[in-house]
Chains A and B, each alone.
Chain A
Amino acid sequence: MKTAEIWPDGAGGYDLKSTYDAGFVEQLKLSIPARLRAWNPNRKIWSIDQTALLKLRQLLQQFGYQVTVHNAPFVQNWKPAVENIRVNYLGDVRTRIGGGVYASGLDERGEWLYRFSLPSIQNWLAGMAAKQAPESTPLTAGTYYEILDVTESASDAELKAAWRRALKRYHPDINQSQDANEVMIVVSESYRVLSDPKLRRRYDAGRRLSKQAGPQQSRAQHSDPDIQLAIPDRWRCGYMRVLCVHDFKLVEVNEILSFQDIIDNQGRRMTARWMPDMPFGSSFGFNRASGHVEYDWV
């Protein structure tokens, strides 16, 4: 069995002692830039910069090493586990030195403790978008065409068929929901207008002109602010339930399961904003990585 031992070197990096495997060494040299690794021929160990640890972990797994970590404050458990974490700020997803692609997350102590993988962010955002799209019903649909669930070029026969479908589905004698009456009123009005060629043409004219009249003509969008994450220029601080692994000093998030705002006793959300530091004496340009987070309740 191939084994690998890892322990902190006391200077921010880690030492690695492992069973020799030519393929592993070759891949290590290919995958981790020379400036992030050093071979100590006397001790026969690799010194690895902490920014390359994720890559090292992948390689060790890839080559089937049994890994032991010594004296690390965060003993790694590379089996994913569900945990609740508090994220005060989440940065952009970027390609990092060492090849990792992730977004860094700030914990409540101000440490960049979390690493969110790209798929974890993508899947989370996709899930949010799906939640935001409400199930379309006649009461939430935007146009008479959408209410009847027909295309804008629907023929008389198609309209009639749509009307019959709606009757079967929403008639209060059949549908026991509280909205059934209201739905039937909306559906009936839609059919009345669209089945009359002149009214339909006038309705279409209104739709055409409303585009010129401006956004005030748009029907109110049905969105739930509670499931919109973004506040312009701000991050909503919150508690996340995540599937993660502890990787030395870091927590690598593989999947975001849920999110909950941090709310004060006045019902305001805790938010954070990244404020880049402007270098003293420089009139233009600044290092985007340099900055700090400011908090506010909104």
Chain B
Amino acid sequence: MKSMVKTATTGSLQDVVQKTGLTLEQAMMDCEFVVVIDQSGSMSEDDTREGLERYDVAESELRKIQEMYPGKVAVVEFSNRPEFCYSGIPSRSGGATDLTAALRFVKEFADGAFDIVVISDGEPDNQASALDIAATFSSPINTIYIGAKGGDGQKFLDRLAKASGGQRYVAEKPGELMPGIVGLLGDGGM
């Protein structure tokens, strides 16, 4: 059974705040990336190359990234609605894929201040509205597609990245997501 009490992932903002005594406001000033991670029901598909659920691929890599770059990544998860994931561990909530609401939420606080990475299987409830809002971002929206190569989801995420001038990566199995983000972090001047 999944525990209801979340322990902060090593290197997550919560972990950094607890270890350093900084406030979250202070910790956020050293943060570089906002990772927007899809937790909708479609992420439970196990069509990745090693037969793992898309959730597994996303979560394991997200953990490693936060360990490698402590305090540099703020995680926002979304399904029916967006939510700041302070512990760094997404909830696997399932449900809808309201990417538009997630991008609207992120635009409010993160646009122009952080680089943005969307990790998703590219199956939002409304592609058009998500693309519309992506086009209004001043920060590039980078995308990492999780799932089988060449699917419609991958094509959508390519368009999303292009709409805001971001880069795009594909992660079919654990180990492929991290180079994508690390590449982005490297581009971010870290």
Per-residue B-contact encoding for A177-205, CB less than 8 Å = 1, 0 else:
00000000000000001000011011111
Are B14 and A206 in contact, with the CB atoms below 8 A? no
Given A208-B108, A208-B109, A217-B23, check contact A202 B86 (CB 8 Å).
Answer: no
Are A206 and B27 in contact, with the CB atoms below 8 A? yes
A213 within 8 A of partner (CB): yes
The total of interchain contacts (Cβ-Cβ below 8 angstroms) comes to 54
Distance, CA A204 to CA B29, complexed state (A): 9
Given A199-B29, A202-B29, check contact A209 B86 (CB 8 Å).
Answer: yes
Q: Which of B39-47, B54-62, B110-118, B148-156 contacts A (4 or more CB under 8 A)?
A: B110-118
Across the two chains, which residue of chain B brings its CB closest to A214? B86
B50 within 8 A of partner (CB): no
Contacts of B29 in A (CB 8 A): 193, 199, 202-203, 206
Those of B19-63 within 8 Å (CB) of chain A? 23-29, 31
Contacts of B83 in A (CB 8 A): 212
Are A210 and B25 in contact, with the CB atoms below 8 A? yes
Are A201 and B112 in contact, with the CB atoms below 8 A? yes
**B36 CB, min distance to chain A CBs, angstroms:** 13
A207 within 8 A of partner (CB): yes
Per-residue B-contact encoding for A242-254, CB less than 8 Å = 1, 0 else:
0000000000000
Given A198-B113, A201-B112, check contact A209 B74 (CB 8 Å).
Answer: yes
Across the interface, B24 reaches (CB within 8 A) one of A193, A199, A217, namely A217
Given A203-B25, A206-B28, A207-B25, check contact A212 B113 (CB 8 Å).
Answer: no
Are B24 and A219 in contact, with the CB atoms below 8 A? no
B84 within 8 A of partner (CB): yes
Are A201 and B113 in contact, with the CB atoms below 8 A? yes
Across the interface, A213 reaches (CB within 8 A) one of B24, B26, B31, namely B24
Contacts of B86 in A (CB 8 A): 209, 212-214
Contacts of B26 in A (CB 8 A): 203, 206
Are A202 and B108 in contact, with the CB atoms below 8 A? no
Contacts of B17 in A (CB 8 A): 217
Are B14 and A213 in contact, with the CB atoms below 8 A? yes
The DSSP consensus for interface residues of chain A is helix
Are B84 and A212 in contact, with the CB atoms below 8 A? yes
Contacts of B23 in A (CB 8 A): 206, 210, 217, 219
**A89 CB, min distance to chain B CBs, angstroms:** 40
**B4 CB, min distance to chain A CBs, angstroms:** 14
Across the two chains, which residue of chain B brings its CB closest to A207? B25
Are A210 and B113 in contact, with the CB atoms below 8 A? no
Are A205 and B27 in contact, with the CB atoms below 8 A? no
Distance, CA A143 to CA B110, complexed state (A): 19
Most buried by B among A210, A214, A219: A210
Are B28 and A209 in contact, with the CB atoms below 8 A? yes
Are B109 and A209 in contact, with the CB atoms below 8 A? yes
**A188 CB, min distance to chain B CBs, angstroms:** 14
Contacts of B24 in A (CB 8 A): 206, 209-210, 213, 217
Distance, CA A198 to CA B113, complexed state (A): 5
Across the two chains, which residue of chain B brings its CB closest to A218? B23
Contacts of A199 in B (CB 8 A): 29
Are B14 and A205 in contact, with the CB atoms below 8 A? no
Distance, CA A206 to CA B29, complexed state (A): 8
**B75 CB, min distance to chain A CBs, angstroms:** 10
Contacts of B112 in A (CB 8 A): 198, 201
**B88 CB, min distance to chain A CBs, angstroms:** 12
Question: Lowest 3 A-B CB distances belong to which pairs?
Answer: A206-B28, A206-B25, A201-B113
29 example contacts (A-B, Cβ-Cβ < 8 A) are as follows A198-B112, A198-B113, A199-B29, A201-B113, A202-B113, A203-B26, A203-B28, A204-B109, A205-B74, A205-B109, A205-B110, A206-B24, A206-B25, A206-B27, A206-B28, A207-B25, A208-B108, A209-B24, A209-B74, A209-B86, A209-B109, A210-B23, A210-B25, A212-B83, A212-B84, A213-B24, A213-B84, A213-B86, A217-B17
Which residue numbers of B lie inside 8 Å of A, CB to CB? Answer: 14, 17, 23-29, 31, 74, 83-84, 86, 108-110, 112-114
15 further interface pairs, Cβ-Cβ under 8 Å (given A202-B28, A205-B110) = A198-B112, A201-B112, A202-B31, A202-B114, A203-B28, A206-B27, A206-B29, A209-B24, A209-B74, A209-B86, A212-B83, A212-B86, A213-B14, A214-B86, A219-B23
